[in-house]
Every structure is written in C-alpha cells, then in structure tokens.
C-alpha cells in the first residue's frame, strides 16, 4: 500500500468553484478543460502559463468531451448538446429525461469507439432509483443503457475495452460490467467496490495504463487507486474533503489533475479548507490514457 501525503499535492489553480467537475485533457492544445456545474462556467486551464479562462454558460453543464470535428459535446441540465466555446453557443440534441423534472445529467465521457456516455441523478425529491445511464452515437442517436440509479458517477473503461465501470454515489457502490466496444452493449453487472462508513463515497474516476481505477472519494479527503481486482494499492491524501473527479494530463499523461468543490460548505469549513473549489494536481508514476473524442 502506497500512501501519498497531501504535502505532495499542489494547488494548480486557486479558485472557489462551487462544483468543479469533468476534467478533460486536450493533447493537441496541452490544456485542461473542466466545468463548474453550479457556478455555470466552462473552463480552459493552460498549465504552461497557469492561466484559466472561464466562460459563463448560463446553464449547468455537468460533463464534456472533445469532438473530432472541433468543439464539444456536453451533458447539461437540459440534456445532450453540442457546444461551441468560441461563440459560447449550444445546439440542443435531445433530453432523454425531460419528463423527469427532479433529475439532471451528471457524470459523462466518451468510450474509445467515440460514443458519448452520460448518467443522470435524482437531484430533487425522494432519493429513489429513477436515474439512468445513456449513450449517444455519431448519428446523434441516444439510448438508455442502464437504469435504477440514484446518482450516476465513476464512469470509465478498462484499457482493453472489456470492462465498463459505473458508480452510484448514493448507494454507495462501484459496479463493473462486461463491455462490447463494437456494439456498445453492457452486461454481467457485478460489484467492483463497496464502501464502508469511513470510506467516503464514489465520485468521478479515471483509469491508467495498468488497468487500475483512480476514484475521487469525497468525505474521505482521498483519491484511491484500485487494482482490476478491486483492491486499494494507493491512497492520495488531499487538503480538501470533497474531491469530485480526477484525470490524467500533461505531455506524458502522468500528471493527475483533481477537481474539487465548495458547495454547501459553512463559513468555518471554508476557512478550514482554503483550497476547496480549487484545481489540484501532482505528478505520479502511473500513466493515463488519451481521452477519446466524440465522433458525432
């Protein structure tokens, strides 16, 4: 077991984001894109000059992916949309849960065939399993892939494209599914990680070239690395209590970027956690995989 002290973690961009999420590294631009869901901003961070550009979108964007043709596909509070950050303009695709006013989209990313996946969450009302996981292909056609979720998170794929990971923060659990990259079908749902009372809960995740699963665990102030068998072999201690997601970036894909939040913190909690809402990072021995782009 390797424990990386919080003293090794750097504040890459000091900020007070309400709910920073969905960090995505652009290899071509050598920058990190991310969103502040509740702050309603779309962000581009350039580590070479330590500069962040925030665009006020006016709507809540929860997840993003780069498009092969330029621009982005995003999951928003009003469904799937294409996004042009230069013009700050959205093109609606569709909202599969427009009949569920208590729900909104949450975690999302592309698989290596270029499909965009995103899960929803029950945001308001009774916390019943009424959310789902959706996939949209290059023809901009979407379909539901899984249901009976309360708060979808932790979406990632193994390097060999044979396993899809999906978490339910409210449950709390991370599942593994068999994944067919050609068809996009998932099957054989099974428990990958279960959480004890002191383990925090599962949030956003990524995988490395060894097939290990890196998971943000809010309430525990940790990022944990799990082997393909579901065993923890590395813990990164953090100076904040609520990390939201992690992503590999940098020229060699060995910088782990970590988004955090400050939503709902008391004045005292904000004083005790001056980096809550900031972008954190550290160089590690593990290496990430390039983030796939949307083919639509």
Domain-embedded: residue 59:
yes
Closest residue by Cα to residue 90 from 108, 71, 103, 116: 71
Which CATH number does the domain housing residue 63 bear?
Answer: 2.120.10.30
Q: What count of residues does the chain have?
A: 296
Q: pLDDT digits over 57-70, tens only? A: 999 999 999 999 99
CB atoms within 10 A of CB 157: 23
Q: pLDDT digits over 25-51, tens only? A: 999 999 999 999 999 999 999 999 999
Indicate the pairing of strand 2-4 with strand 232-237: parallel
Contacts from 122-127 at CB under 8 Å and sequence distance 24+?
122/150, 122/151, 122/170, 127/170
- DSSP assignment of 81-117, as one string? EEEETTTTEEEEEE-TTTT-TTEEEEEEEE-TTS-EE
Domain-embedded: residue 160:
yes
DSSP SS3 for 222? strand
Ramachandran region of residue 175, left (φ > 0), alpha (ψ -120 to 50) or beta?
beta
Q: pLDDT digits over 178-228, tens only? A: 999 999 999 999 999 999 988 999 999 999 999 999 999 999 999 999 999
Domain-embedded: residue 81:
yes
Domain-embedded: residue 78:
yes
Domain-embedded: residue 91:
yes
Give the total number of structural domains in the chain: 1
Q: pLDDT digits over 135-189, tens only? A: 999 999 999 999 999 999 999 999 999 999 999 999 999 999 999 999 999 999 9
Domain-embedded: residue 291:
no
Asked whether 136 and 73 are in contact (CB, 8 A), the reply is yes
Asked whether 124 and 170 are in contact (CB, 8 A), the reply is no
- The whole domain housing 138 covers 2-283
Return d(Cα 135, Cα 139) in angstroms, integer.
Answer: 11
Asked whether 32 and 249 are in contact (CB, 8 A), the reply is yes
Domain-embedded: residue 289:
no
CA 143 to chain CA centroid, Å, is: 20
Please report the beta strands in 201-266, taking only residues with DSSP state E, as ranges in sequence order.
205-207, 213-217, 222-226, 232-237, 243-249, 255-260
Domain-embedded: residue 177:
yes
Global pTM exceeds 0.85? yes
């Amino acid at each position: 077991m390797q424990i990386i002290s919080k003293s090794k973690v750097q504040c890459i961009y000091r900020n007070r984001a309400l709910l920073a999420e969905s960090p995505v590294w652009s290899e071509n631009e050598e920058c990190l894109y991310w969103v502040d869901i509740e702050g309603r901003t779309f962000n581009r961070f350039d580590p070479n000059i330590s500069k962040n550009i925030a665009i006020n979108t006016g709507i809540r964007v929860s997840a993003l992916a780069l498009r092969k043709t330029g621009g982005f596909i995003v999951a928003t509070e009003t469904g799937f949309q294409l996004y042009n950050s230069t013009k700050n303009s959205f093109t609606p695709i569709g909202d599969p849960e427009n009949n569920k006013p208590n729900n909104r989209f949450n975690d999302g990313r592309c698989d290596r065939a270029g499909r965009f996946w995103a899960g929803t969450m029950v945001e308001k009302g009774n916390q019943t399993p009424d959310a789902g996981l959706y996939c949209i292909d290059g023809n901009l056609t979407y379909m539901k892939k899984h249901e009976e979720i309360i708060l979808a998170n932790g979406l990632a794929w193994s390097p060999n494209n044979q396993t899809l990971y999906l978490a339910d923060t409210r449950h709390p659990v991370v599942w593994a599914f068999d994944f067919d990259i050609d068809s996009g079908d998932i099957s054989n749902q099974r428990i990958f990680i279960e959480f004890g009372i002191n383990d925090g809960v599962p949030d956003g995740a990524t995988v490395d070239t060894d097939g290990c699963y890196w998971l943000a665990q809010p309430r525990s102030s940790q990022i944990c690395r799990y082997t393909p068998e579901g065993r923890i072999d590395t813990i990164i201690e953090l100076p904040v209590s609520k990390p939201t997601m992690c992503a590999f970036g940098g020229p060699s894909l060995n910088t782990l970027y970590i988004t955090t939040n400050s939503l709902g913190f008391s004045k005292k909690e904000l004083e005790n956690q001056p980096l809550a809402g900031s972008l954190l990072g550290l160089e590690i021995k593990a290496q990430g995989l390039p983030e796939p782009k949307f083919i639509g």
